[in-house]
Amino acid sequence: MEEIIEINRAEVSETGENFAILRPELLESAVARPINHFHYSGDSDILRLAVILMVAIAKNHPFEQGNKRTGWTAGMMFMVVNGYEITWDSELVAQEFIKLVNGEITIDRFEEQIFYFIREK
């Protein structure tokens, strides 16, 4: 959880926004979401788990500012830490991520769009 807090602190410092954790329990819930998904479904797909983490942080809105950016960055770091290389145009994919968070596309559709831009190292 500390890593996620530091991601948010860095994201908002770049724009001069205020750093504040509004609901620590929602941050804890967001961080637990991919773990719970893995334990209850047996799904160990790193991309799926990363996307679940991204969306959980963005939708739970535990921070005052930068929740989508924090979710996005946390998901990217999750994939890298788990041995994946990301080769996409992050601005284009970030736009699709916003559509996902806003409910305009499904997780499955988002994964289909980015699947070809990640690979194991």
Each residue of 35-72: pLDDT tens digit? 999 999 999 999 999 999 999 999 999 999 999 999 99
Residue 14: C-alpha distances to residues 62, 71, 77, 98, 114 (Å): 19, 16, 18, 20, 26
Query: CATH number for the domain including 32?
Result: 1.20.120.1870
Burial class (CB in 10 A: 0-12, 13-18, 19+), 30: buried
pLDDT score for 89: 72
Number of separate domains in the chain: 1
Domain, as residue range, for 105: 2-120
Residues 6 or more apart whose Cβ sits within 8 Å of residue 77: 3, 7
Average pLDDT of every residue of the chain: 94
Question: If pLDDT is split at 50, 70 and 90, which confidence band does 94 have?
Answer: confident
* pTM summary value: 0.93
